[in-house]
């Protein structure tokens, strides 16, 4: 008689491995992990932009760049370079209403405050002209930078990604 596994035994082991793999896949929720990763990238981008703006302000004796000085306080401007007045896209956050004009941060590139202008990592409509990040000039001499395309991820609610400096 030959020693070995029967076909039934092999099928049972394969079925058990498949069931455990399916449970692990569902438990890990890869979609939520990808969304969490993109939200982490958005947090990083928002912090980088806000810090670059503050560094420029500090280097210029507390005066903002002309582009930011020209903004109306408490209005929300998308960061980008679209000069056609088409920056009033809809943010996923219903409390954010964008102005038609963009705020152009190219001077921060040439002055080495930013290496590049961040663009939303998942929004297919995002581009250098319309980044899906926004800026608010506050009356207390601070700026708020936020993201328009936050995702649910593993949270119970969609996080509001914004930083005030």
pLDDT value at residue 29: 82
Q: Tell me the two tokens of residue 87.
A: 């920056």
Using DSSP's 3-state secondary structure scheme, residue 161 falls into: coil
CB-neighbour burial class of residue 156 (10 A; exposed 0-12, middle 13-18, buried 19+): exposed
Q: What is the pLDDT of residues 91-148, one digit of tens each?
A: 877 788 899 889 999 989 888 899 999 999 998 888 888 899 999 999 998 999 999 9
pLDDT value at residue 87: 81
Confidence at 23, pLDDT banded by 50, 70, 90:
confident
pLDDT value at residue 142: 94
CB 157 within 8 A of CB 92: no
What is the C-alpha to C-alpha distance for residues 41 and 142, in angstroms, rounded to an integer?
23
Q: Tell me the two tokens of residue 163.
A: 């930083």
Higher pLDDT, 109 or 28: 109
């Amino acid at each position: 008689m030959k020693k070995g596994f029967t076909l039934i035994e092999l099928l049972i082991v394969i079925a058990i491995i498949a069931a455990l793999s399916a449970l692990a896949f569902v438990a890990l929720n890869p979609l939520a992990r990808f969304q969490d990763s993109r939200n982490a990238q958005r947090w990083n981008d928002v912090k980088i932009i806000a810090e670059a703006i503050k560094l420029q302000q500090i280097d210029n004796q507390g005066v903002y760049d002309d582009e930011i000085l020209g903004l109306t306080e408490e209005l929300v401007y998308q960061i980008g370079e679209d000069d056609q007045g088409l920056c009033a896209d809809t943010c996923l956050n219903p409390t954010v209403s964008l102005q038609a004009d963009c705020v152009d941060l190219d001077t921060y590139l040439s002055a080495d405050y930013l290496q590049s202008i961040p663009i939303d990592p998942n929004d297919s409509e995002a581009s250098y002209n319309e980044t899906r990040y926004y800026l608010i000039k506050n009356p207390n001499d601070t700026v708020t930078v936020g993201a328009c395309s936050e995702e649910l991820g593993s949270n119970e609610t969609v996080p509001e990604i914004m930083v005030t400096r």
